Amino acid sequence: MTAPTRYPVPARTHRTEEEIKRSRFITTIGRAAKPEEASALVARVSGEFADATHNCWAYVAGPPGSTDRIGMSDAGEPHGTAGRPMLNALLHAGLGEIVAVVTRYFGGTKLGTGGLVRAYTGCVQHALATLPVIERVDFVPLTLVVDYPRVSAVQLLFPAFEVEVLSQSFEADARYNVRLPSAHLDRFRAAVLDATRGQARFPEGG
């Protein structure tokens, strides 16, 4: 199965806090495109809350729902009561490249295994509900050269294919260095050739 070339990801590090049966839970969610980035965020949050009872974590360092690059830790909570529920919440969130750390300050009242699962799941879901997101897009570069009579026809195609002009020059012909979402590349090239009656050129392997 081909990995998606665009999907929502966290826009920035986001934090929420709640109290459950006197325990204080602080949820930190951030973006991690690689396991190393997830580990770095976990280490940073764990250092920030070094005096906490637990700093449990989970991550999905890939497209939404992908299990290729995942990780989790109960961080001292009973096995399966924190990391796995957190990971499940992330896998079903519809977001990619995401890491969550739930910091717990024990308040003296035990929650039991079922209570812990509900608490850690709920903390992640609560943070996800207000998480700002952006779209991650795989862009590819492309160079195209067209003659002047066909410049307008080609430029009219740019918005529909989300083409961003990086640079342009006008000498013997009009030359554009652009980038666009990889998912649009083949259709854009075909549209350009159609608009220029096959006269457009894509140098430098473009």
Residue ranges per structural domain of the chain: 6-135, 138-195
Under DSSP, is residue 201 helix (H, G, I), strand (E, B) or coil? strand
Query: May I ask the CATH architecture of the domain 6-135?
Result: 2-Layer Sandwich (3.30)
Instruction: Please tell me the distance from the alpha carbon of residue 82 to that of residue 120, in angstroms, as a whole number.
Output: 6
In the predicted structure, residue 174 carries a pLDDT above the cut 50: yes
Under DSSP, is residue 75 helix (H, G, I), strand (E, B) or coil? coil
Q: Which residues contact 41 (CB under 8 A, 6 or more apart)?
A: 13, 28, 30, 32, 99, 101
CATH number of the domain located at residue range(s) 138-195 in this protein: 3.30.70.240
Q: Which residues contact 149 (CB under 8 A, 6 or more apart)?
A: none
Instruction: Please tell me the distance from the alpha carbon of residue 30 to that of residue 81, in angstroms, as a whole number.
Output: 21
**What's the alpha-carbon Rg for the chain, to the nearest Å?**
24
Instruction: Please tell me the distance from the alpha carbon of residue 196 to that of residue 86, in angstroms, as a whole number.
Output: 53
This prediction's pTM: 0.80
Report pLDDT digits (tens) over 94-126.
999 999 999 999 999 999 999 999 999 999 999
Strand runs (DSSP E) across 53-127, as ranges? 54-60, 70-73, 98-105
Report pLDDT digits (tens) over 56-70.
999 999 999 999 999
